Structure 1
Amino acid sequence: MSWLPIALLAALVFILAALVLKLPRPLWTLFAAALTFGLAGYAWQGSPGQGGAPAEPAADASESGEALVAARRSMFASELPPPRWITVADAFTRKGRYEDAANMLRNAVAENPDDLEAWLALGNVLVEHADGALTPAATYAYDRAEQLGPDHPGAPFFVGIALLRSGEPQQARDAWAELLSRTPVNAPWRGQLEDRVTILDQLLAMQAQRMGPPDPVQDDTPAPAGPALPPAMP
């Protein structure tokens, strides 16, 4: 597995904490250190194929596309290359040509509607083409991938990333927590998934603390009327 997808995800989490959840600036250094510690743990346990380097906050289209392909391919057996439509689509994806990639992948799913990786790749490029938005078309592609591989981590994992990018950390946390609940104890990705859920739980707790307790609900129900007064004496 490449370092790049992991580093990009760490950058996304930092941006989420700093800009979306309004993490106080004095805590930025501490949070960045925690992410760096997580990356160091991955370097020790994950045996990445290339040397690590700090991720830039914003990657260009080719870096993002390469990371997207590498992250998806890491979830499938590498002994055989993917079918031709996916291979061509990946070439477009690496260049940031997401619309062209989507057209290739539509051919792939039309030719083989049971190709889980093709549906997953289609969902990914549709999200990228929409600048990170989880569109109905992308949701449909992810749903088809999950129907074909209910035990495969790909669809809920990438849905979680799309939700984060869309500013929906609670929904992202729920998607990853649900995936974690059905992930075998010995699954190679379980540890990283647990870390992501934990980080989001901490960030959401910080957000709730900053917002304070909800205002008490005002009860507009009129008070019950007292007993009727007797009529005045003549």
Structure 2
Amino acid sequence: MFWIICAVLVVVVAAAILAPLLRAQEGSASEPAAAFDLRVYRDQLREVDRDLERGVINAEDAGRLRTEIGRKVLEADRRLSAARPAGSGGKVVAAGAVLAVLLGGGVALYIAEGAPGADDQPISARFAEAERSYQNRPSQAEAEAQRSATPAPQLRPEDAELMQQLRDRVAEQPDPQGLELLAMQEMQIGNAVAARAAQEQLVALRGEAASSADLLRLVALMVDAADGVVTPEAEAVLARLIKIDPDQQQGHYFVGLLHLQNGRPDKAFEIWRRLLEREPSNPQWNTWIRPAIADLAWLAGQPDYVAPEAGDPLPGPSGDDIAAASEMSDEERQEFVAGMVSQLEARLAQQGGSPEEWARLISSLVIIGKTDHARAIRDEALQVFAASPDAVATIRAAAEQSGIDE
């Protein structure tokens, strides 16, 4: 079917280009009116000569008639030259040669870059292929074994000793507090698989009492440890998460990612579109969803989709707030800044935010002297963005610049 459509298009285009040239060539084969006039005028010149020989007209009249007819002959010859097309046959040949080159080049390019032997893919076949991809996903263990090799974290001797002590203690006595701390520390130093294992053990230990935050953290760590793949085990945790917290937006984001990875952009688009339209100013969606939603809409068969406008990703104090702060005493200004930081922290806790906002919160807490709290926020942010290496890098950079992650 593909080749039939291509052949029909080639014939239609070739006909549209060559038809005017062929009509011009055919027109050149018919006799122009100027050629007929030229024959008439030449016959008139011969008639003048015969009349002069028979004595019908005198020499003066014959000369005058020859001059008048001669002017008509010249005019007819000029019109005949203008009406005769120049090289129309050559134009047809040239146009045909260009079409042949374009056709040959297009076929060669398709053979080199395309898939000439590929079968047609109706929607049912594509859905069946997506289902096979979904069923044949690697398990968590397989994905972790295949993940890209990462260099071992370089720790200071004293830090490495503390980490080993924490691991040994948790191995001897796996209590929830120790497991939670171990998962955070392993994630912070880049041991994604170890962090996933600790968090998985924590969730298993808490059982039915595991919170949605525990489950979301486990999903993020599983995806990170699997090099970005949402494995069947991660999907099972997602199902549990959404069952106990149906409004967990980050959980729905991972569901959309699952569909996208397994050839169902239509399902992924519907999920991510709802998230973006529900909270168009959510910095996380502006970071993760907005850059991809246009392409995803095209793949889902909705190329005319227009995403809602985004709000300010980094809202801050207004001009009036800054002006008011400039008139405060040092103590009042410190309280004002602390209030702004508290508002930012509350919003991030309730609505989430971008990596840049979390980084700003970390820096602000250090500035107002809450270093220990800044470290706690750093650890929380690293858990939230565990599945995004770029976001993790942003958080760690802010912590290093603030002096809490040396």
- Common topology (TM > 0.5): no
Instruction: Considering Cα pairs closer than 8 Å and 6+ residues apart, tell me whether 1 or 2 has the greater RCO.
Output: 1
**TM-score, length of structure 2 as denominator length:** 0.26
Between Structure 1 and Structure 2, the one with more helix by share is 2
